[in-house]
Structure 1
Amino acid sequence: MPLPLLPDSPSIDLLIATFGRKGELDRLLTSLEKQTYKNFHIWLADQNPPGFLDDMLASHSGLPLTRIMLSSRGVSAARNSLLAMAQGELIAFPDDDCWYAPDTLANVVDAFCKHPQCGVLLGVWTPREDMPPPCSKEGPVGRIGLFRQGGTCVQFFRKEVIEGIRFDPVLGPGTGLPYGCGEDTDFLLYAHTKAKVCRCPSIRVFHPSPLNTLPNKDKIQSYASGRIFLLRKHKFSLWFQIATVFFPLCMMPIDGLRRGRRGIVYRWTMFRARLRAFFAQRTTERRRG
């Protein structure tokens, strides 16, 4: 879709859904206070018990922040509520446990000006600020490429591109359903059908690695179920579904060398979870058919 030119200083809306994280959110807000680009507004969907965040948020009273209180119905429902209020020319959905480099938002604006017909930008994330980003070339990203370093925290959208798109309330954490991830890639895939998506490695975001604190088996299984459900929903080919299942096995030797037994256990558990989800999804579809 053709996109109008952005103003010289476009406004950025940062839509943050949060539950159960105080220290992590404090770190994110501290990083936003340090941004060299100042034309942004934070919209916070607080799904915590009343009072849980009050003292911490008071320490960031200088930030342009609007908080709404929501019941805990999952991250997708919370982000959809915030989308209904968003007004900025640019939209992002920072995870409540990520944080930005001081120049993150400035580089987002520069990149959209450099690529005026790009509707979505993907940055890159690392678990530490002193860690070099993965080797990524700047330029367009194809449909399959959206699965590589394409999580919510590195996604930045032109508002025109996501009008009418909403997060699938079946997908994502906190729904009580078995699909614990995939809401971010699902949203990105719909945006990709409307406009070009570009990778811009100068946009740096930091996010904890799952290997720092190994997720439990239930969480890994829910993420696997979400990924397989997403691939079937968007009609990805059977070969890509199978490649997704076996990808953790390919990564197991690499993560074993990098992180020892922790990396091996994580990748093996992920492979088994994806394999189980793959056959469960196909069994469900045969029964429905």
Structure 2
Amino acid sequence: MKFSLVMATLGRSVEIERLFNSLVNQTYKNFEVIVVDQNEDDRVVKLVDEFRDRLEFVYLRSEKGLSRARNVGLKHIHGELVAFPDDDCWYKPDVLEFVAKQFLADPELRGLTGRSVDGNGVASQGRWSDQILTVDRYNVWKCATSYTIFLRAEAVIRAGQFNEALGVGAGTRWGAGEEVNFLLRVIQAPMYVRYDPNLRIFHPEPLMVMDDKAFSRARLYNRGFGRVLGLSGYPFYFVFYLIFRSVAGGMLSALRMDFKRAKYYWIAASQRFLGWID
């Protein structure tokens, strides 16, 4: 089974080199790296040339926008399995081998997701279940983010394209949620997707510092989160639960005198609501 790893990139170099080195060290070697470059300079071209003798590349360019880039990349996949590594994530040496074994052992499996951890193995980018789960529309929020999703190519084809109004660089208010929106179409097909917490992908925790950048990210990401809830027709009680969870986090942070984190949670709650009614 061959992997097609679709990596969109803008503005990064050192992080890409880290990812490429982690791919060179994979114990499972049957994969291609589809690089979709959105830079105006040649920083990524230089890295691709540097690693070309060790990795199989398909090099492409696209207009800005993460979903746009992924849609360009999906037109060029050759593998039976497809993944969407971020340009700042990286893999343990046995990640592709672990994933391939899961798909080979279970012909009914159409998707496998895992958790995100930082370089020390601590959970990053959200809350993650500790249990193996069949992914559904209610637990998907604690079972997947873009770079922890692996799908059979047939599931990708069935799901169609990423919604280009969602995601980083889309030019809209909805700066995230495109991967969950995409995965929900796989689940609702219906196709069997499993979450395994033993599948761990490295990614830095973006909320180590509560600053203006974190607040801006909270606005875009949570409005996108809310938009997906609206597009997918989630019932009010579930939307209320997700909003109230952020409100509760803000209240607890305020009681601890952590007012910056309280502000972050308030932004998250309000933007989820606004995204939902958009």
TM-score by length of 2: 0.88
1:159 and 2:164 matched: no
- Note the 1:1-289 alignment, pairs <5 A: 10-61=1-52, 62-72=54-64, 74-131=65-122, 136-164=130-158, 165-194=160-189, 195-214=191-210, 215-252=213-250, 263-278=261-276, 281=278
Query: Take 1:261 and 1:25, find their aligned partners in 2: how far apart are those partners?
Result: 35
In the superposition, relative to structure 1, how do residues 119 and 94 fare at CA in structure 2: closer, same or farther (>3 Å)? same
Partner Cα distance (1:35, 1:254) in 2? 42
| 1:46-78: CA deviation from partner (whole Å, max 9, x where unpaired) | 000131223333332221112112222x11111
1:210 shift after superposition: 2.3
Paired with 1:85 and 1:178, the residues of 2 have a C-alpha distance of 29
The unaligned stretches of length 5 or more in structure 1 are 1-9, 282-289
Once the two structures are TM-superposed, the CA of residue 14 in structure 1 deviates from its matched residue by 0.2
**Given that residues 227 and 272 in structure 2 are in contact (C-alpha distance below 8 angstroms), is that contact kept between their aligned partners in structure 1?**
no
- TM-score normalised by length of structure 1: 0.85
Letter in 1 for 2:110: G
Amino acid at match of 1:249: V
- Aligned mates of 1:257, 1:36 — CA distance in 2: 48
Q: Give the match for residue 3 of structure 1.
A: none
Code of the residue aligned with 2:105 in structure 1: it is K
Q: Is the 8 A contact 2:6 2:82 kept in 1?
A: yes
CA–CA distance in structure 2, aligned partners of residues 124 and 254 of structure 1: 25
Equivalent AA in structure 2 for residue 11 of structure 1: K
CA separation of 1:51/1:160 partners in 2, compared to 1, >3 Å: closer, same or farther? same
Q: Distance in 2 between matches of 1:210 and 1:256?
A: 21
Q: Is the 8 A contact 1:139 1:199 kept in 2?
A: yes
1:138 deviates by 2.0
Q: Secondary structure at the match of 2:59?
A: strand
Contact 2:175/2:221 (CA < 8 Å) preserved in 1?
yes
- Cα distance in structure 2, aligned partners of 1:132 and 1:236: 27
Cα distance, 1:240 vs. partner? 1.1
| 3-state SS in 1 of match to 2:200 | strand
Once residues 103 and 74 of structure 2 are traced to their aligned partners in structure 1, the CA distance between those partners, rounded to angstroms, is 20
> Conserved in 2, the CA contact under 8 Å of 1:179 and 1:222?
yes
> Per-residue CA shift, 1:20-50, capped at 9, x if unaligned?
1111111111111111110010000000013
* Counterpart residue type for residue 247 of structure 1: R
Change over 3 Å in CA distance of 1:174–1:158 after alignment to 2: same
Q: Following the alignment from structure 1 to structure 2, what is the Cα–Cα distance between the partners of residues 26 and 152?
A: 20
**Bigger CA drift: 162-171 or 85-94?**
162-171
Aligned-residue RMSD, C-alpha: 2.4
Q: Contact 2:134–2:192 (CA<8 Å) still a contact in 1? A: yes
> Are the equivalent residues in 2 in contact too, given 1:121–1:199 (CA < 8 A)?
yes
* Distance in 2 (alpha carbons) for counterparts of 1:51 and 1:38: 27
Match of residue 286 from structure 1: none
Once residues 251 and 197 of structure 1 are traced to their aligned partners in structure 2, the CA distance between those partners, rounded to angstroms, is 30
Change (3 A) 1:88 1:127: same
8 A Cα contact 1:211 1:262, kept in partner: no
The number of equivalent residue pairs is: 270
CA distance in 2 between partners of 1:30 and 1:250 (Å): 41
- Identical columns (%): 30
Conserved in 2, the CA contact under 8 Å of 1:211 and 1:263? Answer: no
**Shift, 1:236, TM fit:** 0.5
Whole-angstrom distance in 2 between the partners of 1:66 and 1:213 = 36
Q: Deviations over 1:144-198 (max 9, x none)?
A: 1111131101100011112141100111111211110110000000011221110
C-alpha contact (below 8 Å) 2:9/2:87 kept by paired residues: yes
